Chain A
């Protein structure tokens, strides 16, 4: 019987939650990674290794790896640095923000914005790109332009079949696509909305989360700082699909594994609070590619539930009836085994959750 495993990155280490195919009962293990802040923990289905992006206030940034589902862990940051020449010599790594394990390698997005690659299972790293020459590149590392939290390369989305093609998000600037393994890049933000002046029309968009349909790789969705958006042409152009949602703001998003028209988001108040509106927890689903939205809250708290969910905080599994999972900034994990129709709290008292990923392991 397959095992369903969640990898939960928190402010105080990585946790693993395990269940079976029914996804009814869960057991938690952890904290792992010596309690280091874990920004994104992922599982490589080919090697079975867990990788966890980390940054300690004291000991710097690195990537933890576990080849045995959390029994043993090792940390490395060898090569995870901008040398004197790279990126004009002004860049420093404050954290590893995101990871992508696919096609026999691991890619890491860092802050300051840069892309690193490991081909030996995260033992050593090399700088792949700082997107030099792209519009906005001279501004996104300028200290004067840094918002709270600073700007980094916050997400990497691989193409399932083509290792040389992938997408990267630079915070506050938008999506960039490469089709030649990072040698060159193209901004992919056409049609996005910005409620602020743009210095260059191709960039300046605040993309929070980008997902691709596994059944139609041209179908993408994104949760943006201002609105939800859909692309039907592999990210070359975008249309807004916010109408029908309670707010235009949020971080997390998930796409259905078998239906390209079904997509999930968690709208949040867009102000400083950035919690679920009115203290009532809900996930929202469209089954028609954004034409209409439905509120999913059965089993979720509806009183005083001021929950936040961050960009990597929601995941969906690949079962015939998919399960959804989200982790909150206050340490709860909620799970649905029926595509979001009903929910159950499966962990209540973890540290602040920054990422949730799911794997099905035979």
Chain B
């Protein structure tokens, strides 16, 4: 089970979505698919059609920058980060 950490801007948009979720997935993209199944519409908040990651959303697997096809190990930590920007 990958340990997925979500940005604080996401839980207010989806009923019952916690900041931290355990997901069974082989890749980062699959992890987002699993989240979208449980909280429909979540993928659209992270990805544009394609899917490709939105410009200000970044993924890190065990501290390394990753795309949507990065493999996840059983104990991987996946951080979904909304860029620190704006004012």
Contacts and interface: CB of A to CB of B under 8 A. Distances in A.
B41 A59 contact: no
Nearest to B45: A59
Contacts of B54: 58-60
A56 B45 CA distance: 9
A243 interface: no
B39 to A, nearest CB: 12
A59 B54 CA distance: 7
Given A34-B12, A78-B41, A57 B56 contact: yes
A105 B86 CA distance: 34
Interface in B34-69: 40-41, 44-46, 48-49, 54, 56-57
A107 to B, nearest CB: 20
A274 interface: no
Interface in A26-50: 34
Task: Name A's interface SS.
Answer: loop
A68 to B, nearest CB: 16
Interface in B67-87: 82-83, 85-86
B87 to A, nearest CB: 10
B85 A34 contact: no
B41 A77 contact: yes
Given A60-B48, A60-B54, A82-B49, A34 B41 contact: no
A59 B13 CA distance: 10
Contacts of B83: 58
A75 B86 contact: no
Interface in A222-266: none
B86 A57 contact: yes
A44 to B, nearest CB: 22
A58 B13 contact: no
Given A58-B9, A59-B9, A77 B44 contact: yes
A260 B49 CA distance: 45
A81 interface: yes
Contacts, number: 42
A95 to B, nearest CB: 13
Nearest to B47: A60
A338 B63 CA distance: 62
Nearest to A77: B44
B66 to A, nearest CB: 18
Nearest to A78: B41
A288 interface: no
A92 B49 CA distance: 9
Contacts of A278: none
A164 interface: no
Contacts of A56: 9
A335 B67 CA distance: 50
Nearest to A81: B49
Interface string A60-93: 1010000000000001111001111000000010
26 contacts: A34-B9, A34-B13, A56-B9, A57-B56, A57-B85, A57-B86, A58-B9, A58-B54, A58-B57, A58-B83, A59-B9, A59-B10, A59-B45, A59-B46, A60-B44, A60-B45, A60-B48, A60-B54, A75-B13, A75-B41, A77-B41, A78-B41, A78-B44, A81-B44, A81-B49, A92-B48
Given A34-B12, A77-B41, A78-B41, 7 more contacts: A34-B13, A59-B9, A59-B46, A59-B54, A59-B57, A60-B54, A84-B49
Interface of B: 7, 9-10, 12-13, 40-41, 44-46, 48-49, 54, 56-57, 82-83, 85-86
Interface of A: 34, 56-60, 62, 75-78, 81-84, 92
